[in-house]
Chain A
Amino acid sequence: GAVVSQHPSRVICKSGTSVKIECRSLDFQATTMFWYRQFPKKSLMLMATSNEGSKATYEQGVEKDKFLINHASLTLSTLTVTSAHPEDSSFYICSAILGGPYNEQFFGPGTRLTVL
């Protein structure tokens, strides 16, 4: 199956700093990628849809100035958590769609963000 990677896998930062998370489709091109957030023992919550070459589409309640998304190429989308605070600590997961018969999402391994 298609492979999606994320970097870093784990990051710890101080409150007020910004953190960038990369999502790459390793063996296919993805015009659309998705970013999710998952709190402990909770389900995945869709944050935004990242579109190559255009602005991301954010879900209701997600601050676009807080969570900056850049999809500069067909294989890379980045999520920057700006001025991070402890409440932003979460598991961030990206996904991409290969466009096969099922339109299923291929998920990255996730990034564990801890804001001190």
Chain B
Amino acid sequence: LAKTTQPISMDSYEGQEVNITCSHNNIATNDYITWYQQFPSQGPRFIIQGYKTKVTNEVASLFIPADRKSSTLSLPRVSLSDTAVYYCLVGDDNSGYALNFGKGTSLLVTP
């Protein structure tokens, strides 16, 4: 199983861009990289997924270098409501689903 490593916590001010990097050195060829957001006492919510290069949606961008050993979630102009824990997952070898949550990154956005 590909293990992920993220910073434990990050702080940001409102309006800034936040980049959260995740390391996954032993990612498998078929693994996708998926990011989830979790607010306290709620289930996680899907943010974005990618395989290589760059993916962008209405919420975030995901940058993946050619070697795919890391990925960076980019949140543009964060607001207070973006305060949450962000998890990076890579696909499970057996099922193809990304099921193993690492420790995540706790993002605190302040005024």
Contacts and interface: CB of A to CB of B under 8 A. Distances in A.
B41 A104 contact: no
A110 B43 contact: yes
Contact of B46 (A93, A104, A109): A104
Name which of A93, A104, A109 has the most chain B CB atoms within 10 A of its CB: A104
B97 A44 contact: no
Contact of B43 (A1, A46, A104, A108): A108
B100 A46 contact: yes
Question: Chain A contact residues: over half helix, strand or loop, or mixed?
Answer: strand
B95 A49 contact: yes
Question: Chain B contact residues: over half helix, strand or loop, or mixed?
Answer: loop
A58 interface: no
Given A46-B100, A97-B97, A102-B49, A109 B42 contact: yes
A34 B98 CA distance: 11
A69 B79 CA distance: 39
Contacts of A1: 46
Given A43-B104, A104-B49, A91 B97 contact: no
Interface in A44-84: 44-46, 49
Given A45-B101, A46-B101, A102-B49, 4 more contacts: A46-B100, A102-B46, A104-B49, A110-B43
Interface of A: 1, 4, 34, 36, 43-46, 49, 91, 93-95, 97, 102-110, 112
17 contacts: A1-B46, A34-B97, A36-B101, A43-B103, A43-B104, A44-B38, A46-B100, A93-B44, A94-B43, A102-B34, A104-B46, A105-B44, A105-B46, A105-B98, A107-B43, A108-B43, A110-B41
